[in-house]
């Protein structure tokens, strides 16, 4: 996946300024394809230069701002990209190497610190996803687009739950009782 395609997707959902896009991105697509605000602004310039988006100046409370909108060429590029198949990214996680090193070095090598840290982060992310699920998808009939968005969220929920369970299991094997 590439940042340009993530930005095109977000702008097709709703045209907006770069700042609004960066803020929305942090609360949605950014959960699984993170990008800094600087990266987003840089990429918007490239998208505009490629003829995939247009930026129109808009008067606002804080002066002039650019509002970006996807052009037909950008939509065609996104459609082309969506139709591609690609291999899943290989797992590359330092924790897996740390666990192997712990097995070789023996008890007390220190991997517990990483596991505790990750467990806390995964629990927080899981709670956030559960909050989003309740706020945006519970007790309502979903459109096709909403069902697909929910499917993405469900992937995040399953992933975070699996990571919480993995960390808890690893800490249990290592004899850490501070779960």
- What integer pLDDT is reported at residue 61 of this predicted model? 57
The percentage of residues in the chain with a pLDDT greater than 90, rounded to a whole number, is 81
| 25 and 67 assigned to the same domain | yes
- What integer pLDDT is reported at residue 60 of this predicted model? 65
Q: How many domains does the chain have?
A: 2
In tens, the pLDDT along 125-134 reads 999 999 999 9
pTM: 0.85
- What integer pLDDT is reported at residue 3 of this predicted model? 94
| 118 and 77 assigned to the same domain | no
| 151 and 114 assigned to the same domain | yes
What number of other Cβ atoms are within 10 A of residue 114's Cβ?
A: 16
In tens, the pLDDT along 74-98 reads 999 999 999 999 998 898 999 999 9
Q: How confident is the model over 46-65, as a mean pLDDT? A: 85
| 54 and 115 assigned to the same domain | no
| 102 and 75 assigned to the same domain | no
Domain end among 48, 82, 116: 82
CA distances (Å), origin 121, targets 4, 71, 73, 90, 117 = 28, 38, 40, 22, 6
- What integer pLDDT is reported at residue 64 of this predicted model? 75
Domain with 73 in it: 3-82
Cα separation, 148 vs 136, in Å, equals 13
| 42 and 68 assigned to the same domain | yes
Residue 2 has pLDDT above 80, yes or no: yes
Contact (CB, 8 A) for 126 and 161: yes
In tens, the pLDDT along 140-179 reads 899 999 999 999 999 999 999 999 999 999 999 998 766 6
| 153 and 128 assigned to the same domain | yes
| 38 and 67 assigned to the same domain | yes
| 113 and 159 assigned to the same domain | yes
| 69 and 98 assigned to the same domain | no
- The reply to whether 88 falls in a domain is no
| 42 and 11 assigned to the same domain | yes
CATH code of the domain covering residue 21? 1.10.10.10
| 125 and 150 assigned to the same domain | yes
């Amino acid at each position: 996946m590439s940042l340009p395609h993530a930005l095109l997707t977000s702008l097709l959902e709703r045209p907006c300024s770069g700042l609004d896009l960066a803020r929305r991105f942090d609360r949605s697509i950014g959960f699984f394809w993170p990008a800094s605000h600087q990266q987003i602004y840089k990429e918007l310039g490239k998208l505009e230069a490629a003829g995939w988006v247009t930026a129109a100046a808009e008067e606002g409370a804080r002066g002039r701002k650019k509002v970006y909108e996807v052009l037909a060429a950008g939509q065609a590029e996104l459609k082309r990209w969506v139709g591609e198949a690609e291999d899943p990214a290989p797992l590359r996680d330092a924790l897996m190497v740390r666990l192997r090193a712990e097995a070789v070095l023996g008890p007390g090598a220190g991997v517990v610190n990483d596991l505790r840290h990750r467990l806390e982060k995964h629990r927080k992310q899981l709670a956030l996803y559960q909050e989003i699920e309740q706020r945006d998808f519970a007790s309502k009939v979903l459109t096709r687009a909403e069902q697909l968005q929910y499917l993405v969220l469900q992937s995040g929920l399953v992933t975070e739950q699996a990571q919480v369970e993995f960390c808890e299991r690893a800490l249990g094997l290592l004899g850490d009782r501070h779960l």
